[in-house]
Amino acid sequence: MAVKIRLARRGRKKAAQFDIVVADSRSPRDGRFIEKIGTYNPQTNPATINFDGDKAFDWIMKGAQPTDTVRAMLSYRGVLYRKHLQLGVIKGAISQETADQRYTDWKEQKDAKIEGKRTNIGSAKEEARKAALAAETKVKEARAEAQRQKQAAALAAAAPAAEGDATETAEASADTTEEAGA
């Protein structure tokens, strides 16, 4: 029986999530499986990959063949590197302590890199939000300034007209007083 480590789709339309399962290669994609070892959610950034690394390692060492996508995930999480080191221990090329130390060093570096990506994405979103807010404030201030200039121009246009009316009114009243006095 050929055993595969593969993805089984679940989730609604256009919002796929996957289970990482160990299954007989002849069973359908979403059908029978031997064991569920984790989940994969490609909707998040970075994609969320949760699986039991020890179970995956055990199945890999027993000869289970991962699909291309699952192979990339196992490589990303270090299961294939761990297998590589374990094969070196079996052949006698390195000791188990050396293999464990190399794996933990690699794992720490990889976790730091993943966390760095998460923080960069979060800070990039925050910077984009601040930039959008600053641009919006700039536009708002420009509109307010344009409105002030428009009102000042309207007042300036109204002031000479009012002065002209006042002068005409004063002359008319002076004329009426002269006529009344005469």
Whole-number average pLDDT of the chain = 85
Q: Can you list the domains of the chain with their CATH numbers?
A: 3-79 (3.30.1320.10)
- pLDDT band, residue 45 (cuts 50/70/90): confident
Mean pLDDT on 130-153: 89
Alpha carbon of 114 to those of 45, 48, 94, 124: distances in Å?
11, 11, 28, 15
- 40-73 burial code (b ≥16 CB/10 A, e <16): bebeeeeeebebeeebbbebbeeebebeeebeeb
Structure tokens at 134: 């600053």
Residue 172 pLDDT greater than 80, yes or no: no
* Digit-coded pLDDT (tens) for 85-141: 999 999 999 899 999 999 999 999 988 988 888 888 878 888 888 888 888 989 899
DSSP lists the bridge partners of residue 18 as 9, 40
Q: What type of residue is 131?
A: A
- pLDDT band, residue 175 (cuts 50/70/90): low
